[in-house]
Structure 1
Amino acid sequence: MSFDAVRSPAAPAPKRIDTGIRWEVARGGRMQANGTLVVEEPTLVLLAQSDDDAKVREDLVRIRLGGQVCRRFQNQKGVLEVHWQGLKVHEVALLAHGPFETEFNIREFYFPSTFAFKVRFESSRILSKDRFSDFSSELVTLDPPTIEGAEDTDRGAAAQLIATGKAMAESMGLVQGYMTPHRALALQTRIVSALRDRTPFSVVRLGDGEGRLLGYPTFFTDVEVLIQVLYYHFGPTSVDEMRVRRPEDWLEHYAGLLKDMISESVKSADVLGLPVANFYSRQPVAAYFGHAAYACAMFHGLSLARRKDPESFFGTNMFQILAAEGLLLREAAQAAEAVCMVGPWPITEAVGQALGRADLEHIQVPGHATWRGESGHGQFPDLYLYVEDQIVRRGRLGGQLFLIGAGILGKYYCDLIRKRGGVALDVGSVLDSWAGRGLPYALENVEVTLEKYG
């Protein structure tokens, strides 16, 4: 089986319009010389609000409803809805008595975003069904806004969740410097022993991506999971494929499937990596982003792994720390009957040489949607089946070591490998650091290099 065997045709890309100017007319209007917008037919117009004549605010979208729509339904109550990727992200009541304007914040949208609109009045059917149904492929596509400078709130459930998550990490000793030589050696001994004894063993790490899924739908909403997980990790083509297959409940179904995969991998893991306390203070983002996701990872991870002994909990950054010191991975590779790397980068020869395993094998996975530099499908909902097939084809995996850097689906691969008798290490962004590609923070960590194992 190959990638092509499970890949579907790519969906057409949305139309992109430069938002560097003050007004963007979506359809049916024209701009007069004096800057007045004239609407000549039922239409919705997307406008980029400007702080001044030279600077366009990228975090605020203004919508104007005008023309015959307002004249036809004058003084009638209605609703204007804004939809993104099939989900309602904004709703406002309106009274048609002339041009109507509303605005909403898109600070949380991480990617170029194409919006569709629905308008309905009390005495009419939904206008978008016939008149605006094609807007989703014709509207303005906005570039991703910056989230720098956003501040955490000191009130509300998110802030309390974050404070408790940080306190839990501190109480467990998951603070700066937690990886002592004694703990590193103890972990290495457990992994090497599992390989030599041909017993199953897995190390699974939880970060903010897993935390968002584990916290869904109790804490994180449909829109947040769509934007911050599915679209961020797998890209628009994969998201479109999910929507087509299950139009009624696609997001709940696929997010639930990923959540179940993560939960099962945590339950079976022998060692669990959790967010350390200093993670909560290094990100200048709002409470509903990374910090809350780290806290969800902590709560759900401990709940699912409640029978593990204290020495089985490490930080999510455990392999970055070990790799920066040249520890554990070479010793584990030398003890294994076979070594296989599961990740996106073609660095088999260099890694094999560094770990002393010229026979190192590689199962390729699609790169992360954010930096793979190409269109097409991510690992989910199809291509992870290719990886699964490659693992299953190897038969029983006793004594075999797998180094996995495959994002959220990497947890599933760890669980699969352990169930087939192998040893799976969720090394994550270590492979990015070794390849010099991928996650920005992995590239910035200049201490993690293959030379450390030379």
Structure 2
Amino acid sequence: MTFQFLREAEEARHDKAALAEVTRRVLHTRFASVGEIDAARVVQIGILARDAGLREDALALFDRMATASPSDIASRYEKAVLFLHEGNHIDCVQMLRQILAHHPHEDRSNLMAARVLHALGAHREATACLDSILLDGRPDRAQWERQIRIIHDFGRYVSAFPRARAVAMAESAERSPSHMSVGMLAGRITAALDSRSGFSLVRAGDGEGAFVFLGNTDEADFAHLYEQNRHDRARVWFADTVDATKHPFLGEAFRITDVIRDADVVGMPYPNWIRHEYTILSVTGISSLTNLLRIERRPGAASCTQLIHVELHNTKLLYSIMQSQKEIGLISCHPGLPERLKSVLGYEQVDYHHVPGEKGHSHLLSEEAVAGSHWPERYPQIMDALSRPLNGRLYIVAAGLLGKFYCDRIKKSGGVALDVGSVADGWMGSRTRPGLEPLSIG
């Protein structure tokens, strides 16, 4: 019977009302017995309900299985995940303690408990949890040793940069007199175009933050954490075709710190983004975003929100700027975009440089968009093509981490570079970022 319920729940995962009806039927069904496989399926239905936002239904399913088996792991673990996603760290760790009372060496529970306990400042108990993970004789020992080292580093990081400190850094940047509104930024861009002088707007998020270099001591202190961050973010761009933790890529990627320092305006992480990462205790997000805020830029260096590309779109200021130009430069993965810009905005010429799209989003992009190799094939070719006098030409750039280096080169060559990211994907109807609706230029 639970097999049928699970199949119905999986079919209804995108229909919240239908999924709620399935969970209601499960909760009102009297099972003759609850075997281990039945419990696993009911917990899986609870996970589907939780991920669909059916919080109370999910809790009821988890509690039913926990009541049926006082030493059950899965129902309590998934309930702990629910509490973690809500930022309820106290109840999360209490649920994990219930598991560990019966199963003191349960590896996933110990790993999550250590992560949460570190965030709560209970570093000694967190270390004890990691020490309780049994490694001898297991075939995946190396993988678990790596995870343990990452969480050790994570603990040291949140100890040095607790939530309050990271949020305060973001709020301080936002209150700074040099923090620009979208209107002020549009004025700066227009002035650069009028004077035909070099200018770059660069936006920095967790992908860029993963490659920030803040000195050898910092790298040594958090070596395992940073390695994990770099693998994680590079997987989106290159889908494991590039080892982002080794040279020559790593040496080039480290330059992102200088690019951010030198940019005319940098879109930085906003306070609510920082709060969110600390709420869910994102191993990658916390350190990557906070490290961006740790970069020391020159006094008075301008910044804005990382979401400035969306603000430029929503206010239509981006299109006013673009329509003021007779020709434009474009760096994007969409081969059809140059003609679209010509037809909609009337450009005489588009200096187009194609980059292969993010491999991690290949399911959202056309086959033509993701074909080829951005690194190491296209990157040096585009950098070389941009190393000529650009005479104040406007360039729209949408090319991930490496796009920030293109912006830097465009500025140094006398062009005006705007890092618009996923807005350009929206122009072509590709939803490559959560919450970004397909956009139209007109």
TM-score range, shorter chain: 0.5 to 0.7
Distance 1:275 1:236, change over 3 A: same
Q: Secondary structure at the match of 1:101?
A: coil
Q: Are residue 204 (structure 1) and residue 202 (structure 2) matched?
A: yes
**Identical-residue share of aligned pairs (%):** 25
Q: Are residue 229 (structure 1) and residue 233 (structure 2) matched?
A: yes
| TM-score, L = length of structure 1 | 0.57
Q: Which residue of 2 aligns with 1:333?
A: 322
Q: Are residue 274 (structure 1) and residue 311 (structure 2) matched?
A: no
Give CA-to-partner distance per residue, 1:348-378, whole Å, 9 cap, x none.
2333444443533421101001012468754
In structure 2, stretches of 5+ residues that fail to align are 1-36, 45-73, 79-105, 109-132, 147-152
Q: Which residue of 2 aligns with 1:445?
A: 436
Paired AA for residue 174 in structure 2: G
Query: Offset at 1:424?
Result: 0.6
Instruction: Within 5 Å, give how 1:300-379 maps onto structure 2.
Output: 300=295, 303=296, 305-309=297-301, 312-327=302-317, 329-336=318-325, 338-345=327-334, 346-373=336-363, 378-379=373-374
8 A Cα contact 1:368 1:378, kept in partner: no
Q: Which residue of 1 aligns with 2:167?
A: 166
Q: Which has the higher contact order (CA 8 A, sep 6+)?
A: 1
Distance 1:412 1:51, change over 3 A: farther
Give CA-to-partner distance per residue, 1:265-300, whole Å, 9 cap, x none.
223211111000111234564342213211111112
Q: Which residue of 2 aligns with 1:128?
A: none
Q: Which residue of 1 aligns with 2:189?
A: 191
Distance 1:258 1:162, change over 3 A: farther
Q: Secondary structure at the match of 1:204?
A: strand
Instruction: Within 5 Å, give how 1:142-181 maps onto structure 2.
Output: 156-158=156-158, 160-173=161-174
In structure 1, stretches of 5+ residues that fail to align are 1-49, 63-90, 95-99, 110-152, 243-249
Query: Offset at 1:104?
Result: 6.2
Give CA-to-partner distance per residue, 1:164-217, whole Å, 9 cap, x none.
222122123369xx999x933322122112112111111111110111110573
Distance 1:351 1:163 in 2: 44
Paired AA for residue 427 in structure 1: V
Paired AA for residue 238 in structure 2: F
Q: Which residue of 1 aligns with 2:395?
A: 402
8 A Cα contact 2:229 2:288, kept in partner: no
Q: Secondary structure at the match of 2:202?
A: strand
Q: Which residue of 1 aligns with 2:242?
A: 238
8 A Cα contact 1:235 1:378, kept in partner: no
Paired AA for residue 271 in structure 2: A
Query: Offset at 1:401?
Result: 0.3
8 A Cα contact 1:202 1:425, kept in partner: yes
Paired AA for residue 163 in structure 1: A
Q: Which residue of 2 aligns with 1:291?
A: 286
8 A Cα contact 1:214 1:297, kept in partner: yes
8 A Cα contact 1:336 1:399, kept in partner: no
* 411-420 or 216-225, larger mean C-alpha shift: 216-225
Q: Which residue of 1 aligns with 2:414?
A: 421
8 A Cα contact 1:403 1:425, kept in partner: yes
> How much is the aligned-residue C-alpha RMSD, in angstroms?
4.0
Distance 1:378 1:318, change over 3 A: same
Distance 1:436 1:106 in 2: 39
8 A Cα contact 1:61 1:104, kept in partner: no
Paired AA for residue 288 in structure 2: A
- Which one has the bigger strand percentage? 1
Distance 1:355 1:220 in 2: 48
8 A Cα contact 2:204 2:268, kept in partner: yes
8 A Cα contact 1:324 1:449, kept in partner: no
Q: Secondary structure at the match of 2:246?
A: helix
8 A Cα contact 1:195 1:335, kept in partner: no
- Which one has the bigger helix percentage? 2
Distance 2:170 2:253 in 1: 25
Distance 2:169 2:189 in 1: 26
Query: Offset at 1:389?
Result: 3.3
